[in-house]
Structures are given as C-alpha cells and as structure tokens.
Chains A and B, each alone.
Chain A
Amino acid sequence: MPIRQVSIFLENRLGRLSEVVSLLAKNSINIRALALADKADYGILRLIVNDTDRALEILRQELFSVNETPVLAVEVDDRPGGLAEVLAILVQNSINVEYMYAFVAKSGGKAVVVLRVEDLEKAERVLSYNERKLLREEEIQGL
C-alpha cells in the first residue's frame, strides 16, 4: 500500500527551507520523515507528514509548486544488513530505486524507510511476497 509523500519545489535561497517548515509548524502539521534533493539552483523537499491533505492545501494556498507522490514505507530490521536485505529483494526483481530516506521514529522496534521506485506495483508485490511489512498512511500518522 503506497503512502503519499508531499514534494515541494524550492529555490536555493537563504531561509526558504525554514519558511516552509515554519508554515507547517504554525498549522500543527508534524513531519514524520523528510529528505532534501539539492541541485545548484533549486531543491526538492520531500515530506511525509501526519496530515497530507491539510499540508497540501496550506502549501498550495501559499503558492508553492507542490505535488503528491506515491512512495512505499517499508519496515526494516534495525541491525547491520537490515536495509541490504530489502534492497536485495528489489535488485533481484530488477526494480530500480529512484531515491530513499529513513524515518526517525520506529515501528514496533523496527526502522522504517521510504522508497520511491520506478514500478510501484511490482515493488509492492515482491516485498509483500517476501513478507516485508509496508506501512499504511494511518499507521504512519501514529508513529
């Protein structure tokens, strides 16, 4: 089950990141995980939040270029090799990872990573087949 990630286009200028984060804070939106892809002139801020709809609404009101991107949140054993096992499953099935980043919070003692892959359905299928737990949006909000 994919979860929704909020992606925001940001120019590289002083204080821009802080403005977005403050805007979300002001509206009581909690960031569960985040990653920033940075290029020379711009960046893409990727967020998993506790209230995706509300976050999108607020950001759009403030005229940010925003979209929602489906990603997978996968539980990973919190030990050396835990992540490698999950990625090996994807490699064996020829699934390319575009980007990934980790949650701060744990889920039942396990670490959680966000994965963006080319073929989402296939990734979902093979991970489930290999008994890897994919978190749903409601579960994320509880973390």
Chain B
Amino acid sequence: MAEFVYFQKEIETLPESKLKALQLERLQRLAAYVQQKVPFYQKAFAASHLEPDRISSLNDLRYFPLTSKAALRDHYPFGLFALPLNQVVELHASSGTTGKMTVVGYSAADIKLWSTVMARSLACAGVVKGDIVHNAYGYGLFTGGLGIHFGALELGVTVVPASSGQTRRQLDLMADFKSTVLTCTPSYSLYVAEEARNYGLDPLSFSLRVGVFGAEPWSEGMRKQIEKEWGLLALDIYGLSEIIGPGVAMECPGQEGLHIWADHFLPEVIDPKTGEPLEEGQEGELVITTLTKEALPLIRYRTGDIVTLTTERCPHCERTMPRISKILGRIDDMLIIRGINVFPSQIESVLLKIPEVAPHYQLVVTREHHLDRLEVQVEVSPEVFSDEVKKLEELQQRVLSEIESTLGISVTVKLVEPKSIERSQGKAKRVIDQRQI
C-alpha cells in the first residue's frame, strides 16, 4: 500500500464546512477585488446586476458571469490583468484559438501560490525529500516545465530540468542520477521507454517509482501500460495556464479522481450548452474561479474540459478536497498534440494569410511510436497548381513554416487534390483523429 504524504496537511484535510467558509470569504474578497481592478468584470457585474457585497453563500456563484477564452484574446495582451505590469513578475503565453496568443501573468504572490499548489501536488503523488524529479515537460512559455520546477523547489526535492527532446540524453541522465520521479506527458513516457529498449536498456532497470503525467488526456489502459513498462506508479495531474498552470488538481496514489485544490481554485461543472450548473456527479464542463490569484484573477473560467466532480470523501487519503474525474473530453474541437493545445481555427487563420492556398484543409492526427503526428492536408486548387515541382515544394514549405512558427509544434504538410477533402453540409470535417488513446 502506498504511503500518503501531505505538503499542507491541515488545509488539505480541512473539514468540509470550514473549507466552504474559507471559499465564501475568499469569493467575497475576490468579487470586490475584480470589480475594483478589472474594467471587464466591472462591466460584466453591472450588466448582471451583481453586487459583490451582497454575496452571502457559495450558491450565489451561479449568478456570476462566465469567462471564456475569447475574453482573454479580446483583451490581449494585458487587458484582464488586475495589477499594473510593474507588479507582474512573470508572463507566459500559449498560442490562442485564432492566431493571437493567450497571455497569462503572475505576481510574486501568484508564483508563491503556484509553487505551493505544485508542491502539494507532488507530495500528493508521494514525492518526498530525497527524491530526484526528472522533469521532461518543456521549459519556456509553456507552463508545464516551470510549474513542476517551482513545485519541486518548494517541496525541497531535487529537480533535473531536462525539458523536452534529446531522448538519449534524458535516458543517460535518468540512469546516472538514479532519478526516482518522472514528470512529462504520458505519451512521452511511453516513447522514452521504447527508446530505452532501442538503446538496449531495460526500462525496469531504472530507479523510477512515481510518474506525474499530464497535459493531455490518457486512458486507464495507457496507465497500466506505462506502469508495466517502467515499474512505477503513474498518476494524473491537471492544470491549465489560464488558471495557474500544472498543479490545479492531482491524483493521490489511490488513483480515484484528482484532488482539486479548492481553497484556491473553486470548481463547478456546468452544462456547456446552457451554462447552468449541473448536479454533483453529472458530466459537464469544468469551470474554475481563481479565489486567490492577484495578477490575472478569473471568475468562472470555462476550461472546455469535460469532467465529473464529487465532494465525496476520498476512500484512500485523508484529503477533503473535492475530486474531478480524468478529462473525459472537450466541448470544442481543441486538439492536444504532444501536450500542446491546438485549435483547428489556428491553422485556418495561418492558411488565410497565404492567398495561394484554398482555405480548405484537413487535420489528420496519428500517434506513431507514442508520439503524436499532425498532418495538415491542403488542397491544391487549379489556380495555384504549378507544373513545376519546385514551386509546389516552395508552397508546401511556406505553409509548413508558417504553421510551425505560429503553433510552435512540428507538423507535416501534405498537398492533396482539389475537392478531395470531404465537405458535409457545406462545412468540412476538419479533424480526423486516428489516435487510439
């Protein structure tokens, strides 16, 4: 039986009534804060006749306006920030839905908060002092790498900032340092295991005992496979940069749902069509209110992720924090390619900038050797078709580099015959996802 470890045991195991009182107090403070500091919320509150000082129960949350990803885009880059930039110590960005990036900012206190919830998450996975965390999430604008890093520092464990890529070197580092914890996307962990065997190394001979895997959906079947390959305990972590990054919710070794750190991130599940809150246990869109963030506080942020939520006590650990299920799906057509979010609309906006190509495209996603591969198929219209191979190659290369520089992931571009992309009821089927997760 796995041992349960806590970073902030008192708060993580707070009785439900006390947790609710804390959430309410923080919600009241948050509402007043955003009304004062963020014109967007000031207007939204006025439009829905919401007076922060009249909030008397957590049930009042349902009267608050929802915040969508589009709001972040519309206020690019800093329009939703509640603090002036001289109080923002770190910025991250991810490519947005239509070409414009989604920018998030952190105050010094927000970084401390991020470190804390990540330290809680690592502890929740059973990581203790003496562990060596091999962090193969990408470092950079993507929040995955740095989030895990901050948490490891906060928890006081050794972190190896391996970042992504250069798999052979990653294997050497893990073998030589006798790393005990692996953090990366679940698919990458399988790819690394396969590479290990290609180099004649037995994944079971490594010292890994725990894996903290996230940034993409994965099944129980995949979990079993990873655990068997590496001989470790594979646990799911959840997060999104808009809320804070990784460390919003984390599975304990009981592997029955992810504990969401609800003293900071207030969760709800809504019907994505009507926006109405759903009964506990019903499948719907996860909506999160950041109760304590300073630089970019968000009210009822729509994550787009489909989950179920339960406040039932965890049958394994002592945490009282509510639990969300693994991500069951998306409300939109967002794809996750090697842990990076990609919207078909992003590809479309790139193609629209290249007048020679028809805006008819199709995305084919496959997984080969545990790595996601995104193929963008573009139709060669009679207008653009050149008898010269050279010109077609140039066009292909241009589409490729435009997409790669906008999305920050590598893709392949395939030229296809006109009208070969299926059009159903005037609207093309944009995405063919052949991955078996």
**Residue B380 at the chain A interface, CB threshold 8 Å:** yes
Chosen A-B contacts, 24 in total, with CB atoms closer than 8 Å, are A9-B380, A9-B385, A9-B392, A11-B415, A11-B420, A37-B389, A41-B414, A41-B415, A42-B380, A44-B387, A44-B389, A46-B387, A63-B417, A63-B418, A64-B382, A65-B380, A65-B381, A65-B384, A65-B418, A66-B382, A66-B385, A67-B385, A67-B386, A69-B387
Tell me how far the C-beta of A7 lies from the nearest C-beta in chain B, rounded to whole angstroms: 4
Contacting pair A98 B388 (CB below 8 A): yes
| Chain A proximity mask over B403-427: 1 for CB below 8 Å, otherwise 0 | 0000000000011111110000000
Chain A nearest CB, measured from B357 CB (Å): 12
Write the residues of chain A forming the contact surface with B, with a CB cutoff of 8 angstroms: 5, 7, 9-11, 37, 39, 41-42, 44, 46, 60, 63-67, 69, 98, 116
Interface residues of B (CB under 8 A from A): 380-382, 384-389, 392-393, 414-420
Which residue, of A7, A63, A65, has the highest number of chain B Cβ atoms within 10 A?
A65
Secondary structure dominating the interface of B: loop
CB distance from B389 to the nearest CB of A (A): 5
Residues of B contacting A37 with CB < 8 Å? 389
Shortest Cβ gap from A68 to chain B (Å): 9
Are A63 and B389 within 8 A (Cβ)? no
Q: Determine the chain B residues whose CB is within 8 A of the CB of A9 once the complex forms.
A: 380, 385, 392, 415, 417
Q: How far is the CA of A94 from the CA of B415 in the complex (A)?
A: 33
Which B residues lie within 8 Å of A69 (CB)? 387
Rounded to whole Å, the gap between the CB of B292 and the closest CB of chain A is: 52
**Whole-angstrom distance from the CB of A35 to the nearest CB of chain B?**
11
Are A65's CB and B389's CB within 8 A? no
- Taken together as a complex, chains A and B put the C-alpha atoms of A46 and B389 apart, in Å, by 12
With A37-B389, A39-B389, A46-B387 known to touch, is A65 a contact of B382 (CB < 8 Å)?
A: yes
B419:A63 contact, CB within 8 angstroms? yes
How many Å from the CB of A143 to the closest CB on chain B?
A: 22
Cβ of B419 and Cβ of A7 under 8 Å apart? no
Our pick among B388, B393, B417 for the contact of A65 (Cβ within 8 Å) is B417
Q: Is there an interface contact between B417 and A64, defined as CB atoms closer than 8 Å?
A: yes
Q: Whole-angstrom distance between the alpha carbons of A116 and B194 in the complex?
A: 49
Point out the residues of chain B lying under 8 angstroms from A41, CB to CB.
414-415
* A11 and B385 contacting across the interface, CB-CB below 8 Å: no
Q: How far is the CA of A5 from the CA of B290 in the complex (A)?
A: 65
In the bound assembly, the distance between CA atoms of A42 and B379 in angstroms comes to 12
Which residues of A lie under 8 Å from residue B385 when comparing CB positions? Answer: 7, 9, 65-67
Min Cβ gap A20→B in Å is 11
CA distance A42 to B416 in the complex (A): 8
Which chain B positions have C-beta within 8 A of A5? 387
A37 to B388, CA, bound (A): 9
Q: Which residue of A lies closest to B385 (CB)?
A: A65
- Residues of B near A64 (CB, < 8 A) are 382, 417-418
Closest to A8 in B: B385
**Chain A residues with CB under 8 A of B388:** 98
Give, as a whole number of angstroms, the nearest-CB distance from A15 to chain B: 13
Contacts of A7 in B (CB 8 A): 385, 387
Expressed in whole angstroms, the Cα–Cα distance for A129 and B384 within the complex equals 36
The 7 closest A-B pairs by CB, nearest first: A65-B385, A7-B387, A69-B387, A65-B382, A63-B419, A9-B385, A41-B414
